[in-house]
Structure 1
Amino acid sequence: MSSTPSAKRLPLPVSFEFYPPNTEAGGDKLKAVVQELGKVAPEYFSVTYGAGGSTRERTLSIVQDIAALGFEAAPHLSCVGSTRANIAEILASYREHKIKRMVALRGDLPSGTATAGEFRYASELIAYVRETRGADLHIEVAAYPEYHPQQRYAKRDLQHFANKVRAGADSAITQFFYNPDAYFHFVDEVRALGVDVPIVPGIMPFHNYARIAQFGQRDGIEIPRWVALKMEGYMDDTASIRAFGLDVVTRLCERLVAGGAPAIHFYTLNQSALALEICARLRR
């Protein structure tokens, strides 16, 4: 099917996530990807932040590049390993660059780092951002429909999420998933706790099945057995893998649209083709 954008509107808002490239050539390529994805009028683009702030400068640079192309951009900001002083410095930089949206995360410590810093949880970072910046930043937080991989008890994970919202989060983006029932059940559970912010499903197209299967195993994300078996059965048939993956993720998105999801956030792995194709299919 063609991925040429049509005049028909998407049935719900979309946004896209990138990671900061390591090279100048990668940065130039990403600008082209932004312009391609910009054809579907995304709500914003987000840019990830390495463990312990290891990509801090590159994250901000990519955000500035996206803004220069005429789109809203939201840097990720993780707090583990940080102090109030360096978070205040980053927030001041955001104000200077007129950044109005961010994704607040607990994050991971870089390998070999022993101290967690002054913030233990994302809820503490969010409370500090609100204390420092007031209401002039839109704060996104992470949600885990299949629960956080480091959390043994679902009820405790739900409470951690509710704490982030009560600390001042405006909306949430989920970890990627392939089981829509997990998303709808998670939404029902947090609504029962009084959480009423939009919870946007995060969607990962099958850019590279082996790599995504590794992500899933690491992060506790279920890839349905029938999908995994078909993907593995295609072996090196990249055309069949691409076509089947597009069908699976399109049906997932259609189910989310029908169920009332407020938007869709695509994890792009810095590529545009699959996300554009899915958007084109959702327009029909």
Structure 2
Amino acid sequence: MTDNPVSYAAIHPDWERARTSMADGYSLEMTANELDSLRAAAPLIRPRTQIAVTFLPGETVDQRVAAARLVRDLGFEPIVHLSARRLTSAAELDIYLARVTAEAGVRRVFVIAGDPSRSEGPFEDSLQIIDSGLLDRHGIAVVGIGGHPEGHPAVAREELWLWMERKLAAVRARGMLPLVVTQFGFDDDAIVNWVTELRARGIDVPVRIGVPGPAGIKRLLGFARRCGVGASAGVLRKYGISLTSLLGSAGPDRLVESLERRLGPDHGRVRLHLYPFGALTASAEWINGYAARH
């Protein structure tokens, strides 16, 4: 399961350069309602940084397209999320892809099943979106799929690997390039072990490791509960959070520094993906500070 890194460089040069720091080639994400926040943070973000636009309830297609267009207009690379179970029809997906590719030059998407327990339309999972043929029809070049270093509450671990291999094969079969983006987590051991197993299974695709941006501790734990992320006392203590004191904020310094030490050439192409949790400026400031210190 190997990919030609030059092909990835044609989409974005970050995947061709050797990584000198975990701050190299990071990506961010935003919601469709954070246009003003992105404008404020833009001077702190490196040109051509990849910024994902999420697919959340309560947003309109117009809002999502406007967000992707702003990402492009500010000199960054837009990636749009596609939430399978939130799509009400194949026509909705077709129209959205037509607009973001034409109006924002989108060539990268990230596909997920989504949170709803029941589908709002014809798509139950991300594989069905890939198999629909709509992505390649609209000129999408790179397709991101999810990775779960700490597992998934509703899917057995071995089944997660099987689904990943199916999705990677489906992406390649349609002439597109795959990318894996992981759920955010606090546990360096779980992340390193997962990347090690990924490579041992012969899955040699670029990986973006999801880490939480700096945020209030209560906010971080709230997102962890909502996303099913493990947050045991021992793991949080390693991260720098004490459950006996939920005041203040925390950043991913310890986690990223551990990944810096432990992820080497044998782990393949690995970069960071920051989940800002509504704090784009703080996340951009953090990654710049990390780069300056390392």
**Normalization by structure 2: what TM-score?**
0.76
Distance change (3 Å), C-alpha of 1:189 and 1:10: closer
CA contact (8 A) 2:109 2:140 kept: no
Task: Name the counterpart of 1:5.
Answer: none
> Gapped runs of 5+ residues in structure 1?
1-8
Q: Secondary structure at the match of 1:140?
A: strand
Task: Name the counterpart of 2:107.
Answer: 100
Cα distance in 1 for partners of 2:160, 2:21 equals 33
Match of 1:212 among 189, 205, 220: 220
Cα distance in 2 for partners of 1:249, 1:205 equals 11
CA contact (8 A) 1:162 1:193 kept: no
Task: Name the counterpart of 2:4.
Answer: none
CA deviation after TM superposition for structure 1 residue 120, in Å: 1.7
Structure 1 vs Structure 2 CA RMSD: 2.8
Task: Name the counterpart of 1:158.
Answer: 161
Question: Does residue 61 of the first structure (1) align with residue 70 of the second (2)?
Answer: no
Match of 2:35 among 15, 27, 36: 27
**Normalization by structure 1: what TM-score?**
0.79
CA contact (8 A) 2:185 2:230 kept: yes
Cα distance in 2 for partners of 1:205, 1:256 equals 20
Distance change (3 Å), C-alpha of 1:186 and 1:10: closer
Match of 2:52 among 38, 46, 55: 46
CA contact (8 A) 1:246 1:274 kept: no
Task: Name the counterpart of 1:119.
Answer: 123
Q: Secondary structure at the match of 2:277?
A: coil
Distance change (3 Å), C-alpha of 1:71 and 1:196: same
CA deviation after TM superposition for structure 1 residue 138, in Å: 1.5
Cα distance in 2 for partners of 1:83, 1:59 equals 17
Question: Does residue 232 of the first structure (1) align with residue 243 of the second (2)?
Answer: yes
Task: Name the counterpart of 1:187.
Answer: 195
Cα distance in 1 for partners of 2:275, 2:262 equals 16
CA deviation after TM superposition for structure 1 residue 50, in Å: 1.1
What CA deviation, in whole Å up to 9, does each residue of 1:100-129 have, x standing for no partner? 11111221339xxx6542222101112224
What CA deviation, in whole Å up to 9, does each residue of 1:210-257 have, x standing for no partner? 122122233332235246464334443x3xx44xx4543442442465
What CA deviation, in whole Å up to 9, does each residue of 1:127-174 have, x standing for no partner? 2246642764211111111112322x1111111122221110510110
CA contact (8 A) 1:88 1:132 kept: no
Question: Does residue 18 of the first structure (1) align with residue 30 of the second (2)?
Answer: yes
Q: Secondary structure at the match of 1:167?
A: helix
| Aligned-pair identity (%) | 23
Task: Name the counterpart of 2:10.
Answer: none
CA contact (8 A) 1:100 1:136 kept: yes
Task: Name the counterpart of 1:77.
Answer: 82
Cα distance in 2 for partners of 1:257, 1:188 equals 9
Q: Secondary structure at the match of 1:76?
A: strand
Cα distance in 1 for partners of 2:31, 2:135 equals 28
Cα distance in 2 for partners of 1:226, 1:135 equals 45
Q: Structure 2 counterpart of 1:148, which letter?
A: H
Cα distance in 1 for partners of 2:160, 2:32 equals 29
CA contact (8 A) 1:13 1:262 kept: no
CA deviation after TM superposition for structure 1 residue 203, in Å: 0.8
Q: Structure 1 counterpart of 2:37, which letter?
A: K
Q: Structure 1 counterpart of 2:27, which letter?
A: S
CA deviation after TM superposition for structure 1 residue 279, in Å: 3.7
> Gapped runs of 5+ residues in structure 2?
1-19, 172-176
Task: Name the counterpart of 2:7.
Answer: none
Cα distance in 2 for partners of 1:65, 1:131 equals 22
Cα distance in 2 for partners of 1:195, 1:228 equals 29
CA contact (8 A) 1:74 1:102 kept: yes
Q: Secondary structure at the match of 1:91?
A: helix
CA contact (8 A) 2:79 2:109 kept: yes
